[in-house]
Amino acid sequence: MKRIHLIVLLLAFLALVGCTEDKKQQLEDFVPHWDKSMFSNQIVYPDDSIGYLKLNLDNIASGFTNRADNEYEEGKLVVNMYAPKIVPVYCAQLDGVIPLLLVPGKASQLRIYAQACDESESAIHETSCWQFSGELADLNAVLVTEFDHLMPLGISSWYEKGMSEEAFHDSLWNGISQLKEHYEQSAYSERQKEFIRAMLERRYVCLYTLGRSLGFSLEDKHAQELEFFHDGRTFYAISSSLPLPYLRTNNIEGVVRDWMESLNKAQALADTMQKTSESLPLESFDTIPEPFRSDLIALNDTLRKQAERWSLISDSTIIAEETITNGILPCPDVKAEELFPYFVKSHKGKVVVIDCWATWCGPCKKGIEAMKPLKKELEGKDVVFIYLTNSSSPQDEWEKEAKDIHGLHYRLSDDIWKKLKGESGIPHYYIFDRKGKKVYERLGFGEGVLDEITAAISKALS
């Protein structure tokens, strides 16, 4: 009898362990919150030297953020986000794009083996060429391996010329259903399978939404069968509000839609605030839920303090701007085409160097850093450095970085910036001589640009 009891207890224990293990394998629900996501990478070369992937922080920034304190150095990334985000990272060793999943509060690592990549015909599909580790290793491995099947790459492969709306929608549903069935039979873990189902439903909704370009409706008879748009697990696949019109049209309620609605409302309000650089009354944020409300209030407080500081700068100070060589100043009240003449006139008799940049622009920052020794040599000489940016540089981040860049700093409205810059990129450099004549202009920073700028300034001073 005792033996039977022991066997029963043992079986119960094993069942409990098994259930616990299964639970660990499930994709947990996610609640949007502000937290750090961490990612590091290494490229291992045959001589045991180490390299790193280059990441575009502009792509990594979350859909709505004021506190854009991203850090990336020597393969180590720390970025604050509200919700999981999938970002494309190009890797020359793998000869393709790695879709990288970042999740607030979680970390992951990637090692790429350059020699194995060189020896492989399709390195991005060879697990011997790369290895993920950390909390997101299993999900990132799925993304890289199954990239072509999981990511929405356009509707061309699902649409044939002349196909009716009903046939197109049926082709999407049947195609995604077949892929789901295929992966259910795969050797992936239950957690990975849940992630795959979420990604496939993401692809389905994105392609369904793109069908509007063909004049097709968003109404979907299968909408209520999409399990992952009703709970937080969807956040591992959705990082933007792109599916929102689909969810609205098909009356799909839940945490995902609520988050997307809040994200859109907060983003629109933040864009308005940054474009006008004006603070709002606190009641303007009453309808914005957390976690966005606190962030908007922080941005509003920054704008209010900025307005208070700028109000202390009198008109006479702005007119006598030639006496100022460093600091943040309010934008001159002039039209875009009058801005450069205004700077030249304000610094009459001096060489004016204008640098159009942004806090998120890597080449811009390289140029600024490279010019530090030159600016040191020019101290005491009649040269003024002016730095221009727009609202794409988050307010707090811009003010923080501007303090370490000697010169005059202006944050232009998007309208002025667009008229001033047109479609040209950044960094963009302009140099005007003592008489106000433009003697140099250059788009981009690369080899030889510093020498060109040095020579142009030297000639303009003579």
Report, as an integer, the average pLDDT of 40-56.
Answer: 88
- Please answer whether residues 405 and 368 qualify as being in contact, where contact means their C-beta atoms are separated by less than 8 angstroms: yes
Select, from the ranges 44-58, 107-121, 155-169, 414-428, the one with the highest average predicted confidence (pLDDT).
107-121
pLDDT at 221: 95
For residue 201, is pLDDT > 80?
yes
244-273 pLDDT, tens digit per residue, is 999 999 999 888 888 888 888 888 887 777
State both tokens at 173.
């549903």
pLDDT at 231: 81
Which residue has tokens 């604050």? 80
Report, as an integer, the average pLDDT of 188-216.
Answer: 91
State both tokens at 392.
């794409």
pLDDT at 268: 82
For residue 14, is pLDDT > 60?
no
Domain ranges of the chain: 35-145, 165-262, 323-461
pLDDT at 128: 87
Question: From the CB of residue 458, how many other CB atoms can be counted at a distance below 10 Å?
Answer: 12
Q: How confident is the model at residue 325 (pLDDT cuts 50, 70, 90)?
A: low
pLDDT at 277: 62
Give the chain's mean pLDDT. 82
Q: Which of 103-117, 182-196, 416-430 has the lowest mean pLDDT?
A: 416-430
pTM greater than 0.75? no
pLDDT at 311: 54
pLDDT at 329: 85
Q: How far is CA 257 from CA 28, 202, 212, 241, 341, in A?
A: 18, 13, 20, 8, 49
Q: Which of 40-44, 127-131, 195-199, 332-336 has the lowest mean pLDDT?
A: 332-336
Report, as an integer, the average pLDDT of 383-389.
Answer: 93
Give φ, ψ of 175 to 5 degrees.
Answer: -65, -45
pLDDT at 284: 84
pLDDT at 246: 93
For residue 67, is pLDDT > 80?
no
Torsion of CA 200, 201, 207, 208, to 10 degrees: 150
pLDDT at 233: 85
Q: How confident is the model at residue 23 (pLDDT cuts 50, 70, 90)?
A: very low
pLDDT at 275: 62
Q: How confident is the model at residue 431 (pLDDT cuts 50, 70, 90)?
A: very high
Report, as an integer, the average pLDDT of 194-223.
Answer: 92
* Percent of residues, the chain, with pLDDT higher than 70: 85
Residue with the larger pLDDT of the pair 78 and 21: 78
24-39 pLDDT, tens digit per residue, is 448 888 888 888 889 9
141-176 pLDDT, tens digit per residue, is 999 988 888 876 677 778 888 889 999 999 999 999
Q: Which of 5-14, 225-234, 238-247 has the lowest mean pLDDT?
A: 5-14
Q: Which of 222-231, 254-263, 265-274, 284-293 has the lowest mean pLDDT?
A: 265-274
pLDDT at 454: 93
pLDDT at 372: 92
280 burial type by CB count under 10 A (0-12 exposed, 13-18 middle, 19+ buried): middle
Superfamily of domain 323-461 in CATH is: Glutaredoxin (3.40.30.10)
Considering only CA atoms, give the Rg of the chain: 27
Report, as an integer, the average pLDDT of 94-118.
Answer: 90
Listed residue (39, 62, 55, 57) closest to 360, CA to CA: 57
For the chain, give percent helix, strand, coil, nearest 5. 50, 15, 35
Report, as an integer, the average pLDDT of 277-284.
Answer: 79
Report, as an integer, the average pLDDT of 73-79.
Answer: 83
Alpha helix stretches (DSSP H) within 64-155: 114-119, 137-145, 147-150
For residue 387, is pLDDT > 80?
yes
CA–CA distance, 133 with 137 (Å, rounded to integer): 5
